[in-house]
Structure 1
Amino acid sequence: MCGSNESTTIPTLLAPDGQTYYVTQTEFKGPCKSNNVHVQILGTILAPLRVDWGACSRRWLSFTGVDGLIVDGSGVIDGQGEDWWGDLTTGCTGRPTALLFERCDGLQLSGLTHINGPGFHIYVVHSKNITISNVTITAPENSSNTDGIDISNSKGVTISDSIIGTGDDCIAIKGGTQFLDISNVQCGPGHGISVGSLGEDGQEEYASDIHVWNCSINGATGGVKIKTWAGGKGIVRGVIFEHIIVNQTNYPIHIDQHYYGSKEQPQAIKVDNVTFNDIHGSCTTENAIVLDCAKIGCTDIKLNEIGITSVDPNKPASTICNNVQGTGTNFLPGNSSCFH
């Protein structure tokens, strides 16, 4: 397929409907002679059980250096991840990514259903001009580290019109991501839509020009958030979360610069120019809005038209701010001491 240089038709690898295909760890590696390559999945692609995995690998299906790749269809990619979600103290020390795209500029991924990944379901890294649309990603709420979509070191990515519910982030926006647009995504269960985590072990990382809009988050432990480790270096800048519905969600709006309880340090990733606009719904505890910034501070943070109430009358919703500079208009629950 990759060796074809046909100019009139796009080389296509087809998995027909009505069939299940057992596929072990497989890498598709470019560059390809054709400007486009098409993988069409109409049947079910089935991963090995953990006991049959063989040599440890951090990936199941991977595409490397394949530009102009089209992956679509009405089929299912089943990671059979149940045995990976528990204890990993023996054997392989990491959970494999089900579907990895590395250096795949111009990728178009659409239509497929992704279920029960052993780790991340979809991971895009070191790529640009990417479109992901109309995908469904599901794994049980208690499945560990089963992110729906992870984006890292990539530029010009669009994610739209998709349904994601897993045991971790619906979408995780990692370091090196620029110009990302996320819209019309239904998220839940899971940990919400997150920028980060960034800066672990003092790493220098950045993310910028991110727009998340017209999304809903239902029954998740997190809503829209930015999470960084104390001691990291770099910046998160130019992030807009707007027109978001949250329903029975803990931490609907959250900036956490002490991720996993990491202690305050002299340096931290800078968080600047972040807007939370038109976000409404309910939270399961009092944690409606939590902006917990490092001493270096979060600057130019804007809360506009926010209305979040607690579903528990014994735990009324609240807004908590630490080291925040910015503005707030018409946000509920209010906190007049938030901004300075």
Structure 2
Amino acid sequence: MGIIGIRTATLLLAALAWRSVLVAAAGEADGVFNVKDYGARGDGTTDDTKVMGTITAPPPGAWSGQKYWMMFYQVQGLTVTGGSTGLLDGRGRSWWWSDQCNRYGDIYKAPTALVVMNCTDVELSKFSSKNSPQMHIAVSQSSKVHLTQLTTTAPWDSPNTDGVHIDQSEDVRVTRSTMGTGGECVSIGPGSRFVTVDGIVCGPGRAVSVGSLGKKGATESVEYIDVKNVQFINTSSGARIKTWQGGKGYARSISFTNINFTNVDNPVVINQFYADPYHIPNMGAVAVSNITYTNLKGTSRYRTAVEFVCSESGSCTNIHVNSVAITFPYGEALALCQNAQGDTSGYVYPKIPCLR
């Protein structure tokens, strides 16, 4: 099945080698490998790195419905580094437009390249991931996770190839990384708290997004999110919060600071009608509150540079906009503002009509 997994409650490694081989299950009943069985000491002192190189994913026919390629599971105190030469090659082109997984229906059956699940105190650094079948790196049900100096690449039209996805986790940092994909550069999903995204170059791709939240009426929450020092280049969105109509819960205490946009389709977005073109009123929405934008600047590809499109239920409040200058190269930039409540300070362009 082409999976590396670790199922030890406490595994302390200085580093885990990226081997230049195609890793297959090869007799393991559950497709899970414990690196201690392959010579790693895990004593917190020994450097277990032996080889740097490339790990290449198996073809789609070898996956048997597996949802991930590699997983770190129930690990405490793990450092994984590629030494700047490590590469995960997900061979995603075999998935994106193949019979096994077409982009319009079955792409969500494609596996994520690397999953960190139910882990504590993990650092992933200095490696690249290219052409993941779906998401490149996912962090789920984990805490104290630091992802730094990473590079994720996939074509702009590759479906759902998020650079990093986070859900049900807290105290997660994504820093000093470059992400160009067909999905979100960083997506922050339900149950995420105390997440920092700092020093990211994003493009091509969609955005750094909070959400989507509240699909099919679900109750979901995200809070204490700090996105700062991000450059968006030729992305479809930038600083984005997205919730489904009819959802419940909240997205609150979120800040976007020192953000630069270069030719971004929709630089600043709050959308409480995600993936619903009809905007049916009075269905309720995930409450969006205490959202702060500070020192945002750059260029919008389209005239509408800011979109705050909120539900009539009054669930989009305490939106604070300070020092924004986003221009449209071919004329006056505009802001679309529907049912949002909040205020502006300092120089704000374009003017946001429904904020004080």
Shared fold, TM over 0.5 = yes
Contact 1:4/1:11 (8 A) holds in 2: no
- How far off its partner does 1:13 sit? 4.3
Residue type of the alignment partner of 1:22: L
Contact 2:42/2:48 (8 A) holds in 1: no
SS at match of 2:205: coil
In the alignment, the residues of structure 2 paired with residue 302 and residue 91 of structure 1 have an alpha-carbon distance, to the nearest angstrom, of: 39
Residue type of the alignment partner of 1:289: V
In the alignment, the residues of structure 2 paired with residue 14 and residue 185 of structure 1 have an alpha-carbon distance, to the nearest angstrom, of: 25
**Is 40-49 or 74-83 further displaced after alignment?**
40-49
Per-residue CA distance 1:1-58 (angstroms, 9 max, x = gap): 9799999x84764345xxx3112475457999957597756200000122x3241111
Per-residue CA distance 1:250-301 (angstroms, 9 max, x = gap): 1100001000125334221000000011000001001200000111231100
- How far off its partner does 1:83 sit? 2.1
Per-residue CA distance 1:140-186 (angstroms, 9 max, x = gap): 10100000000000010111100001001000000000001111100
Contact 2:117/2:140 (8 A) holds in 1: yes
Q: 1:303 aligns with which of 309, 321, 329?
A: 321
Q: Are residues 267 and 318 of structure 1, via their aligned partners in 2, closer, same or farther at CA, if it must alter by over 3 Å? A: same
In the alignment, the residues of structure 1 paired with residue 93 and residue 56 of structure 2 have an alpha-carbon distance, to the nearest angstrom, of: 13
The aligned runs of 1:245-256 (5 Å cut-off) are 245-256=260-271
In the alignment, the residues of structure 1 paired with residue 95 and residue 286 of structure 2 have an alpha-carbon distance, to the nearest angstrom, of: 32
In the alignment, the residues of structure 2 paired with residue 280 and residue 302 of structure 1 have an alpha-carbon distance, to the nearest angstrom, of: 16
- How far off its partner does 1:62 sit? 1.1
The aligned runs of 1:274-293 (5 Å cut-off) are 274-293=291-310
The aligned runs of 1:82-121 (5 Å cut-off) are 82-86=93-97, 88=101, 94-121=109-136
Contact 1:27/1:61 (8 A) holds in 2: no
Structure 1 counterpart of 2:283: 266
In the alignment, the residues of structure 2 paired with residue 181 and residue 117 of structure 1 have an alpha-carbon distance, to the nearest angstrom, of: 23
Aligned-residue CA RMSD (Å): 2.8
In the alignment, the residues of structure 2 paired with residue 243 and residue 136 of structure 1 have an alpha-carbon distance, to the nearest angstrom, of: 21
Structure 2 counterpart of 1:48: 58
Residue type of the alignment partner of 1:309: T
Aligned length: 332
In the alignment, the residues of structure 2 paired with residue 78 and residue 39 of structure 1 have an alpha-carbon distance, to the nearest angstrom, of: 22
Q: Give 5+ residue unaligned stretches, structure 1.
A: none
Q: 2:216 aligns with which of 201, 210, 218?
A: 201
Contact 1:284/1:312 (8 A) holds in 2: no
Structure 2 counterpart of 1:67: 76
Q: 1:322 aligns with which of 331, 338, 350?
A: 338
The answer to whether the aligner puts 1:312 opposite 2:334 as a matched pair is: no
Q: Are residues 38 and 141 of structure 1, via their aligned partners in 2, closer, same or farther at CA, if it must alter by over 3 Å? A: farther
Structure 2 counterpart of 1:173: 188
Task: Give the TM-score, by structure 1 length.
Answer: 0.90
Contact 1:39/1:72 (8 A) holds in 2: no
In the alignment, the residues of structure 1 paired with residue 312 and residue 43 of structure 2 have an alpha-carbon distance, to the nearest angstrom, of: 50
Contact 1:184/1:215 (8 A) holds in 2: yes
Contact 1:86/1:144 (8 A) holds in 2: no
The answer to whether the aligner puts 1:332 opposite 2:343 as a matched pair is: no
Structure 2 counterpart of 1:213: 228
In the alignment, the residues of structure 2 paired with residue 215 and residue 168 of structure 1 have an alpha-carbon distance, to the nearest angstrom, of: 16
Contact 2:14/2:80 (8 A) holds in 1: no
In the alignment, the residues of structure 2 paired with residue 311 and residue 257 of structure 1 have an alpha-carbon distance, to the nearest angstrom, of: 28
Q: 2:148 aligns with which of 106, 128, 133?
A: 133
Q: Are residues 199 and 35 of structure 1, via their aligned partners in 2, closer, same or farther at CA, if it must alter by over 3 Å? A: farther
SS at match of 2:161: coil
In the alignment, the residues of structure 1 paired with residue 130 and residue 246 of structure 2 have an alpha-carbon distance, to the nearest angstrom, of: 36
In the alignment, the residues of structure 1 paired with residue 209 and residue 92 of structure 2 have an alpha-carbon distance, to the nearest angstrom, of: 23
The aligned runs of 1:153-164 (5 Å cut-off) are 153-164=168-179
- Identical amino acids, percent of aligned pairs: 32
Structure 2 counterpart of 1:58: 67
Structure 1 counterpart of 2:28: none
Q: Are residues 267 and 57 of structure 1, via their aligned partners in 2, closer, same or farther at CA, if it must alter by over 3 Å? A: same
Structure 2 counterpart of 1:81: 92
Contact 1:4/1:33 (8 A) holds in 2: no
Contact 2:297/2:324 (8 A) holds in 1: yes
Residue type of the alignment partner of 1:67: Q
